[in-house]
Structure formats: C-alpha cells, structure tokens
Structure 1
Amino acid sequence: MHGAIPDQDLWRITHTGSDAPYRVLGAHATERDGVAGFLFALWAPNARRVSVVGDFNQWDGRSNVMQHRGDSGVWELFIPGLKKGEHYKFELEGPDGKLLPLKADPLAFAAQIRPETGSILHDEPNFQWNDAGWIEKRGEGDPRKKPIAIYEVHLGSWARVPEENNRSLTYRELAERLIPYVKDLGFSHIELLPVMEHPFDGSWGYQPVSLFAPTSRFGTPEDFKHFVEVAHQAGIGILLDWVPGHFPVDGHGLGYFDGTHLYEHADPRQGFHQEWGTYIYNFGRAEVSAFLVANARFWLEKYHLDGLRVDAVASMLYLDYSRKAGEWIPNRYGGNENIEAIDFMRRMNETAYAACPGVITVAEESTAWPGVSHPTYTGGLGFGFKWNMGWMHDTLRYMQQDPIHRRYHHNDLTFGLLYAFTENFILPISHDEVVHGKGSLLGRMPGDEWQRFANLRAYLGFMWGHPGKKLVFMGCEFGQVGEWNHNGSVDWHVLQYPVHGGTQALMRDLNRAYREIPALHERDCEASGFEWIVSDDSDNSIIGWVRKGEKEGDIAVVVSNFTPVPRTGYRLGVPHPGFYREAVNTDAGIYNGSNMGNAGGLFADEIGSQSRPYSLCLTLPPLSTIIFERRGEG
C-alpha cells in the first residue's frame, strides 16, 4: 500500500494557494485493485505512530496502522470496504512514545454533533450545481459600485420549532423560509456566522474544530449546498464568516496535534490568546499557511460561496494584540507587526480572487492599519472591503444620547467622513452590538416607545444614505426588543405590532431605494461621490449631504433631523434645478411615523443657500431621515 499518494502531491501541501491540502489529506473514497474503500492521509511529522480508529475496528489503534511517507511528514493508509457515514479519528503516539487524545481529522468533510467529537467518512460532497448563471453574473462589474446590503444571520437562532423541543431549522428548512424572507426585504447577501463544525454552541461558531465540515447541527454537506444554491436562484449571495485567527484548545482538535506544537506557536507569547483562551496559528509554517488558504479556497470553490468575512484581523496583524509589555515577542525588525500573518492574508486574498472571480473578501479590522482593502501590489492586504468599526461606535454613541444633548456630540456623526474613502467600507451593525449586555439596537435608542422607534428608523435611514455598503444583524430590521440569545429565536411574534411591522417595511423600502437609486451605491467608495451640504448645524442636530451617481446630474440628497422637534421652512442648498422626489421618509405613516413630509417631493427654488445656486424649502419631521432623488437629463 506504500506510495498511494504521488510524491508531487505530498510536497504541494506546503504550497500556499494550492488545493492539495484538501485534495490529498483527509479521507477520500477511492478504489485500489478494484476494491472500494477510503484512502486516509494525515500530516503529523513528529508522531512515532499514527493509526486510523473508528467503529469499523472497535477503535483499536493496533488494527489500522498508517505508513509514514518520509520527509513529507504525511502518514497514509487505504482501508478497503469502508462506507460513507462511518465515524473515525486518528490515534497518535507522540515523539515521547505517549498516546495523545484521539484526534479528529483536520480535513474531515463532515463531523459529529457535540458532545460527540468524531469525524464522519463523507468524501467531497456530491452535488449537481445549477447556478452557473449566477456565478457568471457575479463576476460582472466592480463590487464597489454595486448595492451590497447584507443580512447577518446565526442559523441556529434565526427561527426555532417550539413544537419539536425548540429545535433549530435545518439547512433545507432555512432554504424554504430564510431565503424568501431575505429576498422580500431586498437584501443582496446573507452573511452566515461560522458554519464550520464547532463543539461549543456558545462560541457561535467562532471556535471551529473541523474547518472543512459544515456543522451537522442543521443537516449534511449536500443540504448546505442546497441552501447556497437556492439563495443563488433567488439572486442572493452567501458570505461566510471565516476564522483563521485562532482555534480552540479542545483535546480532539489541532492543539498539540502530534505531540508537538504543530499548528500553533510553541511559545505562549506567540501561540496563545489570553483573551479568548485559544491557540494562535503559526502562520510562518508553510504547511499551516497552506492548510488555511486551502480552506478559504475550499469554501469558495466547493460550496460556491460568494465571499468570506475574516474575523478578528487585528488580532493577527499585531503581535502585541491584547497583551501587556513583556507578554509578546517583537518581529525580526523589533516591531509589533506580525509579518507572517500579513503575508498569509495577502496570499489568501490573492488566491481567493484568482480562483473564484466575482467573490469578495471582507476584513473585520478595528484599527487604523493602512490599506486593508487595497490591492496587494500597492502594499495593501488585498481585502475587497473592510468593516467600518469606528463609524459604528461613533454613531451608536451619538444615538444613545438624549436628543437634548446631541448638539454636544455632533462630531460623532461627522467624524467618519474624514476617513470614509480611505478604505472600501461596509457599515456594520452586527451581532457583536446586540450581545453581552449591550441590549438590542432598539434598546440603545432613548425616549418613550414612539421616540425609540423614530430614532431607530432615522438611524437606519441615515445609515442607508451614508457612503459605504450596509450590514445589519437579524432582528434589527424590525426593531427586536430583547438582546440576541443564541439558544432562542428572533422575536418574530412582535411583528403583529405596527411599530415593528412599520420598521420592517422601512427596511424593505430602504433596500429598494439603495438598489434603484444609482447615486446611493455607484460611488460608495469614492470621495468624488459625496458632498456635504450642512455638517455644522449642531444646534438643531440636523445633518445633510449630496450623494452623486456616475451619470451627471444623478444625485440623492440625504437629510436627518435627530431631534423630536419638527422643522418647517428649512432651506437646504442643492446643486441642480428640477424636481427632487422624496424617495424615503422614515417618518411616513406606513412606517408608523407621524406622517409629516414634503408631499412626495419638491422643485428646487432658484434661491441660493449653503454656497449652492438652488435650494429646497423642507419640512423636516421629528427624529427622521429623508432621502430625495434627482435624476440627470437624458
């Protein structure tokens, strides 16, 4: 049986960007001399012995001992007669001769549900895709110019089945219910919290063990592919949260894998996250970097996903992330930059964009690191987009103020525009903003019930009119009252009340306006597509700007009144004559507002204001945002 894997494939597992790690390693259905079975391969260079154990040999490590392939560090074994669905692990004897805890297959395509920790023989999921049209269309045009509005979802708690012990929906049930819901509201993408198999529900997927296996909580790998395909047939892209920044210390996982610190740094100052209690990958080891980049490629290629949002990028960039003096090791130049991690992220992005045209990668990066979403050939990290964490923190801090005090915090609204075009930004109101005692998004808003909902609607209108792509977490679209609970469900029952139904209706209309008004999305990432009208009216807590489309004269005017005081006769300068259609008014009666407004639109007066030749004489409802559209000629 020796030599089943070609030598060139063994060496390719060290090549970052190659698909060899998941094509060669793991467990693959195959035939040897006409006999069907599975070929197992495991990288464990420091082990003295490796065996395949499972139901098929009563978990006896003496039965199926693997053969060592020399300097490659790979062990291999063909076992005839095995069938899909059987459980297995690897038994390793460390370099000191001691047995290690049984290890799950790092390249397993399926895994058992907690509390069980075994891998499942599956081979690459067999699925006949019918989304070629979507994949081709996805590659057309520049994503920075598209109306990207993302609905972030934790699959286990989007909806539950109370009649069946409050279980979560399956992938196929989610395809039937979640996809139509998202399409109806007009979102362009769904972003999933990590679906890689993970042992602890409370990690929400951010501490995965089996990086190549979609969690069996909701069904099979084929079921997950079905979910993705149904989304594509509905015109919706699927983004997946991806976690290369750390991994859990569970005994069956990657930690101390072959009796040495194989995947993680040996020195805890480099290899252990004190904040999260997790290990840090050794990005400088070729096999580890190749393993991770192959994993990114695997999800994009094999599951047809439309992008990856990379979690905790800052923790990878900085060697001193969340560490005190003396708790970290400088790089070879004496700095705090993690050179190996930077190179890894660049290679990952280059591989993703080269292998899968039309996908996007997104960085959750909370610092001022330059060029996160700039191309690698200019010195950037190569991500397509970056979450704008500063904008989120500033504007939520502003909204939490009682309106009478907002005049003293006006800078929180305007500061983000100083750097809004330094990166390709996504404006995120994510799951992190509705957990750990922060309450719901609605709960951040001050005032009585009417004012809280008016504040929320005004904020959503402000966000959708602001430069940058959009992301909201499930429940925010209708003003969920309670904090998110991963063991429960979104509070769908509140939609019976007009205040919640009205907020949901506003979200639908905001997405429609964002999609249909070119000025609101075509130049989201370009400074030339934005122009202040009024940024200094802090006394009235009013803010307004122009968004410009690529066609001359195509503009949107966005104006927010963040006090409960209606303003009539408010003159706002505009750059062009003509009719300005009131595309969205967050105070409209259909959203459960007070129904003040401008009768569907206004013609510009030939009266100069704010250094512009024309102006609108506006009625600004209380706690509201209004978006006006003007189309260019021809």
Structure 2
Amino acid sequence: MIEERALRDAAIAIARAEHGDPFAVLGMHQSGPGQPIEVRAFVPGAERLWVIDSATGDAAGEAQPVLADGFFAVTLTDRTQRFRYRLRVQFPLATEEFDDAYRFGPVLGELDIHLLGEGTHLRAFERLGAHPRAIDGVPGVAFALWAPNARTVSVVGDFNNWDGRRLPMRRRGVSGLWDIFVPHAAPGQRYKFEVRGPDGHLMPAKADPYAFQAEMRPHTASVIHGLPPYDWQDSAWRERRVQTSDRNAAVSIYEVHLGSWARAPEEGDCFLTYRELAERLIPYVVDLGFTHIELLPITEHPFDGSWGYQPIGLYAPTSRHGTPEDFKEFVDSCHQAGLGVLLDWVPGHFPTDPHGLGLFDGTHLYEHADPRQGFHQDWNTLIYNFGRREVQNFLLGNALFWLDQYRLDGLRVDAVASMLYLDYSRKEGEWIPNEFGGRENLESIAFLKRMNELVYGEHPGAMTVAEESTSWPMVSRPTYLGGLGFGYKWNMGWMHDTLSYMQCDPIHRRYHHHQMTFGLIYQFSENFVLPLSHDEVVHGKGSLIEKMPGDEWQKFANLRAYYGFMFAHPGKKLLFMGAEFAQRREWTEAQSLDWHLLDQPLHRGVHDLIRDLNRLYRELAPLHRTDCDSSGFEWIESNDSENSVFTFLRKADDSGHIVVVVCNFTPVPRQGYRIGVPLPGRYVERLNTDAPEYGGGGVGNGGVVVAEPTSWHGRTHSLPLTLPPLATLILERWEE
C-alpha cells in the first residue's frame, strides 16, 4: 500500500492531471496475497463515495477524502479477494452509481503492441481510436492512442464533462501507446485527447487520428462510432469489379465535389445528404454513361475552401453530408447501379490546425521537425515523416481502411510529385538531400510502392491513380519491374498541351499543331488517364467553355470537337462536374452548379454529346481496349497543320474492326477531304460533333462513306470526306 505522504503526493498529481501512471494509483490495489483490498478514486465534485460490490449491490465500504477536490480512498479490511465493484457517489444535487474505469485491465493486447511498434499492424484502425465494446458485461468504449513522447494523456468528452483530470490513460510500457476502457461511454458521444507534452506543457485538445466520425465544422471533436456491420447489397458488382478497372476496360470517370454538385436552396442552400446524393447524383451519372465516380476528398476537413485536400480526419467521411452509414449506403447504391467509386486520397501532407496531427504529443510526431522536410511552402501544410514506421503504418492502414470498410474501388493519390522530390517547389538551400545526395524522397517512394502493393494484393479489382505532373519514369508500372506500382497516371502533359492549343484562335492553330500530337510520343509509356479536372476550372482559369475562342457558336463547337478528340484519343477519361454541360462560370465550392443551363439548347447539346461519347467509348472495343497499348493506335495524318486537321485510327486487334477519327479544328468546312484507310468497306459515321442534336450545323457525310480503292496516305483505300467546321467525326468500319 502507498504510504500516507506518498498517497497525498500521488493524489495531488492525479488532481492536476500530471500523474504519468494513473493505474498505479487509482482503482483496486492489494499489497500482496491475503492482504486487505484498497480502492482509490478521483471524482471531482464528489462529497461522499462508497465502493459497491457489483455482485450483491451492497456497499463494501465508504471511502474517505484524501483531498478536498475529490480524491477518495478506502481500505476494506474484511476483503482480501479482488471483486468487481462500482462507485456510488454523492454530489451536491444528486447521487450517482457507475463502474470505475480503473477496475478494468488493458485494452491493447501484447501482439497488438508488438505489431504496432514494428509498423506492420495494417488493421491498426481496429485497435487504435475509440471502439464500443463490453468488458465483463459492462458496455463502454475502449480508447487507445499512440503518443510516445507525452508525459500524460487523458480522454475527455461528453462522458466526463470534458474534464482532463477524470480519465487519464494507461501508458503501455515503452511502446508509446496509451489505452483505457471507459464504462458507459457510448456511440454518438463527442471526445478528444488531452495531451501533456514531454516538457509538461498541455497541448490543445487533439482530435482522434483514428476517429471514424467527427463533428460538423466549425466544431472539431471526434465522435464515438466504431465499426458496426453493414448489410451490403453489391455482390453482383463485386463479382465483376476486376473487369471494370482493367487496362482493357472502358474507364470513364466523373469527378465530383459533393458539396457543390447541387445544393438544397429550399433549405437555406445547405448540403445534400449522402442519401439525397444517392437519389439524384447516381442516376444522373449512370444516364451519362460514366463508369466511375471520383470524389474530391470526403475525409473530414475543417475548411470548405480546401475542397477536402487538407484533411484532419483521415478515417472519417465528412459529416457535411451525414453519417458513416449514410456514406456506405451511397457507395452501395453506386455499386448496385454499376458505378465504381474512387476517392481522392491525400497522404502527402496535413493542415496545421491545433486539434490535428501537428505537434501531436508535444513533439514533431507525424511530421518532420525540420521545415526543409516537414513544411509545404505552397500550401502552408505539414509533411508526413515517411521514414517513421508508425506514420507509414497509419497511412497504409488508412488506404486499406477505405477499400475494406467502405468498399471503395480505388484511390486517386493527390500531389504525388510533391512526395517524390525533396526539392519540390523549393529553392537551393531550402531542402535536404537524401543519403546519396540526390533529390529523390526515398522514404516516400518506398511508402508509395508499399501502398500500391497492398492495395492490389489485398483488393483485386481496385485501382490506384497517381496525380503526378513530372516525367518520373514507370509511375504506373509494377514495383517488381522497378515502377511505383500505380495502376494509372494522370496525363497532365496531354491536358496542358491540348488545352493550350484549343485556346488559340483557329487562324493561329497551324503554328501550334504539334501540341495536339506531342502526347502520342510518350502516350504508351504509362497507363494514362486523360484528365479535364477541377484544377482546370479554378483560381482564375475560368471554365472550359470560356477558354474556347470565337463567338458563341464557335465556343460550343470548339468544346464539342475537343471532347470528341479526347474520347477518341488513347487513355482513360476523366471529366469534372459541370464540364459535361459547359458550365460557364468558374467553379467554386461555395455554390451549386448552374443546372438551369440545361434548359438552353447549346448547353443541353454538350450534355447529350457526352452521353453519346461515353456510350460509344464503352460500345466500341477499339476506343478502349488498347487505351494503354501502342498496337491500337495509328496516325493517318498528323502533319496537316495548314488545315488544322488530325486523322487517326483506333483498333482493338487484327480482326479488321477499326475506328477512324477525323478532327477539324478550324471553322472552315472541307469538301472531298481524302484520308487513307487500310481496308475496304463501309465506314459508318457513328458520331459527328456538328450534329444538330448537339447544337451543330449538321454538316457531314450522310451517315456512311464507302472506301474507294484509291491509295492515299500509304494505304490501299481511302475515304472522300466532308469535314464539318470545328468538329470531330468518329467512323466505324463495317465490312461489305
């Protein structure tokens, strides 16, 4: 037993929330076998306290105050065997009875501690954080946290009046882990961790890094939720998912920011819920023919203006649209409708908000201490320390968490370039070379490779996509071949070059002709996605339609022709919301898309064109099966800069099933424009972006052109075509 003076000193430390080993003081103790039982408790505000035998409901003894502010102790001289007990506490206005958190044993097992310590516990989210459970028949919540340099850690929340003195946690040896079981804490209650740093300084209360739910901003508390089972109804999707993400599959992605796709004006312009989005967004995307929805980050984030790219709750779907169950229902509904769901995932950096990961335990725990490694100057964010195995484990587990718990179909990894290079957006002297003196971030590279290996190894049919804007080699090649292991890479070069070309007045396009062809030089070095993403319609860049030159008709004709070129070009497709109906204003996260534009014929025409392009892309194997294979593409004529015309063919195999694509990027219609084709037959005009139903002038070829045995472009046959102005033609060969 503790001597009187030592007990008083310990009581004072407990009352100040400064005791590093609260379980050595509080709860039930016995100095040896056959010795009397002593029970100690700290309940601020209590006037009297009794120890109650849980089995009988009788009082085993009344504790006496050691300190006036709520520390009690009692020696039960007639009790020499440990027993389950409760505390009956008399407060000034009421008497309450409850289980004592300090009578329960550790939450984390030794195997968990070992695996967490070596950074190989890939399901750490099942152990760390807050998990509702019952111990000895008592319902409550098991809390566990990694804070190796903290002097003390307490869990605070609705269950203890946010009093950091009430529930200091148990330190698990030298592991850096802390845990406690809190009886009668329950799902829906809010909580945080109160952490005292190694210097004794009390940090701002921290949100749980592993929280599965969080408060709606501007509030910042975590919410007890756990991992309750969900009755998924997507078995048909899961059975065929592998085919939907394959390099040979048609992959057409609708990128969406849930908070601004649509709002509820009748309810103060508030966000739509996940369930409302399931009812409205999913049928819309299915009707347009997209194969996947890509969500701008829905991981919990404090600032709307970050669009989710500065997350704090990496394990929590944002509460802006509802509960975790609501989000699961949204994903389930997507799958039942035949849509895959991708998540924009941000493992490269995190914001500096005081309730977040920065200086988590009073030290640079998750981030690098040196700002030359740990601070993003562009975004004023902190960079994860990928060399720390526990940090890698946190992020790797998170990647698997979304694919496992929410059955997402892939991750688009944000800002990969910033992760690959130590000198990313830094001047000389502002970065630290790697151990070999180079600029490559070796630890981050190892992390990305491991992440991709785990995703593809544990979740067949899932995909990973890199937003990588440099010429880093083999981003989308397997790690066993020396690649980073991503399934796909955004083709940022294609996007920049082609958009730059399209913004030129047609009279000047002849001087920029090879901006449209240059991408084919490297097109098959990676598995590319062609992205017209949110990044192209923000920060003063304007909308896609407003980038187009010319009068009103020409703007829309240019955009339609460009979309035709994009969907016929090798590579998977990605289009940001609003672009499918030529949203005029620049996108903002603060308001809904301008859906009224669909009432205008030119906007409706673009919308209908996207539907038909998606249908054709999925229907015609030559347009998707060889997206990532050079055998499926041939230039017919890539050098007609004088007329700004591009012609090429797509094929899926050697069967003779070919698709011919012709793009005229001037406002001049051209009669008798001859192009060579390899085979005879009827070439059916499957799509003409100048068709009247899209808002065009209806110039074309009457639906079909028969190949003539006239050699042209080095081929045995040729087609005499009428090229509509500012338009793309897609023709499919049908045998005679």
TM-score range, shorter chain: over 0.9
Pairing 1:215-234 to 2, within 5 Å after superposition: 215-234=318-337
Which whole-Å CA distance do the structure 1 matches of 2:647 and 2:330 have between them? 41
- Matched residue, 1:354: 457
Residue 37 (structure 1) aligned with residue 146 (structure 2): no
Tell me the TM-score normalized by structure 2. 0.85
Instruction: Report the AA paired with residue 110 of structure 1.
Output: Q
| Structure 1 residues 151 and 562: CA distance shift in structure 2, 3 A | same
Which whole-Å CA distance do the structure 2 matches of 1:632 and 1:73 have between them? 71
Equivalent residues of 2:197, 2:362 under 8 A apart: yes
Aligned pair partner of 1:597 in 684, 690, 700: 700
**Structure 1 consecutive aligned stretches of length 4 or more whose deviation exceeds 4 Å:** 14-17
Which whole-Å CA distance do the structure 1 matches of 2:711 and 2:658 have between them? 18
Which whole-Å CA distance do the structure 2 matches of 1:436 and 1:539 have between them? 34
Instruction: Report the AA paired with residue 674 of structure 2.
Output: R
Which has more radius of gyration?
Answer: 2
Which whole-Å CA distance do the structure 2 matches of 1:259 and 1:16 have between them? 21
Equivalent residues of 1:14, 1:290 under 8 A apart: no
Deviations 1:308-360 (A, max 9, x none): 00000000000000000000000000000000000000000001111111000
Q: How far 1:235 sits from its partner (Å)? A: 0.3
- Matched residue, 2:13: none
- Matched residue, 1:446: 549
Pairing 1:107-256 to 2, within 5 Å after superposition: 107-140=210-243, 143-256=246-359
Unmatched runs of 5 consecutive residues or more in structure 2: 1-103
| Structure 1 residues 69 and 555: CA distance shift in structure 2, 3 A | same
Instruction: Report the AA paired with residue 443 of structure 1.
Output: E
| Structure 1 residues 312 and 324: CA distance shift in structure 2, 3 A | same
Q: How far 1:18 sits from its partner (Å)? A: 3.8
Q: How many residues align?
A: 633
Task: Report percent identity of matched pairs.
Answer: 64
Residue 521 (structure 1) aligned with residue 662 (structure 2): no
- Matched residue, 1:294: 397
Which whole-Å CA distance do the structure 2 matches of 1:365 and 1:227 have between them? 29
Deviations 1:284-314 (A, max 9, x none): 1000001001000000010000000000000
The more displaced of 419-428 and 66-75 is 66-75
Q: How far 1:2 sits from its partner (Å)? A: 3.8
More relative contact order, 1 or 2 (CA 8 Å, 6+ apart)? 1
- Alpha-carbon RMSD across the aligned residues, in angstroms, is 1.1
Aligned pair partner of 2:684 in 581, 591, 604: 581
Which whole-Å CA distance do the structure 2 matches of 1:15 and 1:127 have between them? 31
Secondary structure of 1:507's counterpart equals helix
Q: How far 1:11 sits from its partner (Å)? A: 2.2
Instruction: Report the AA paired with residue 351 of structure 1.
Output: L
- Matched residue, 1:23: 126
Unmatched runs of 5 consecutive residues or more in structure 1: none
- Matched residue, 1:370: 473
- Matched residue, 1:488: 591
Q: How far 1:551 sits from its partner (Å)? A: 5.0
Q: How far 1:4 sits from its partner (Å)? A: 2.5
Q: How far 1:172 sits from its partner (Å)? A: 0.2
| Structure 1 residues 590 and 55: CA distance shift in structure 2, 3 A | same
- Matched residue, 2:81: none
Pairing 1:241-390 to 2, within 5 Å after superposition: 241-390=344-493
Secondary structure of 2:596's counterpart equals helix
Which whole-Å CA distance do the structure 2 matches of 1:193 and 1:227 have between them? 15
- Matched residue, 2:635: 532
Q: How far 1:140 sits from its partner (Å)? A: 3.7
Deviations 1:449-503 (A, max 9, x none): 0000000000000000000000010000011111001100111001111000001
Which whole-Å CA distance do the structure 2 matches of 1:427 and 1:198 have between them? 28
Deviations 1:198-248 (A, max 9, x none): 000000000000100000000000000000011001000000000001000
Tell me the TM-score normalized by structure 1. 0.99
Q: How far 1:584 sits from its partner (Å)? A: 0.8
Instruction: Report the AA paired with residue 276 of structure 2.
Output: E
Equivalent residues of 1:551, 1:632 under 8 A apart: no
Secondary structure of 2:586's counterpart equals coil
Instruction: Report the AA paired with residue 259 of structure 2.
Output: G
Residue 405 (structure 1) aligned with residue 498 (structure 2): no
- Matched residue, 2:718: 615
Which whole-Å CA distance do the structure 2 matches of 1:352 and 1:214 have between them? 20
Equivalent residues of 2:548, 2:555 under 8 A apart: yes
- Matched residue, 1:96: 199
Residue 563 (structure 1) aligned with residue 696 (structure 2): no
Secondary structure of 2:186's counterpart equals coil
Q: How far 1:550 sits from its partner (Å)? A: 2.6
Q: How far 1:527 sits from its partner (Å)? A: 0.7
Equivalent residues of 2:685, 2:730 under 8 A apart: yes
| Structure 1 residues 385 and 14: CA distance shift in structure 2, 3 A | farther
Instruction: Report the AA paired with residue 301 of structure 1.
Output: D
Q: How far 1:13 sits from its partner (Å)? A: 2.3
Residue 81 (structure 1) aligned with residue 184 (structure 2): yes
Residue 423 (structure 1) aligned with residue 526 (structure 2): yes
Equivalent residues of 2:672, 2:722 under 8 A apart: yes
- Matched residue, 2:23: none
Aligned pair partner of 1:433 in 524, 527, 536: 536
Instruction: Report the AA paired with residue 460 of structure 2.
Output: P
| Structure 1 residues 614 and 593: CA distance shift in structure 2, 3 A | same
Which whole-Å CA distance do the structure 1 matches of 2:120 and 2:587 have between them? 37
- Matched residue, 1:466: 569
Which whole-Å CA distance do the structure 2 matches of 1:28 and 1:605 have between them? 72
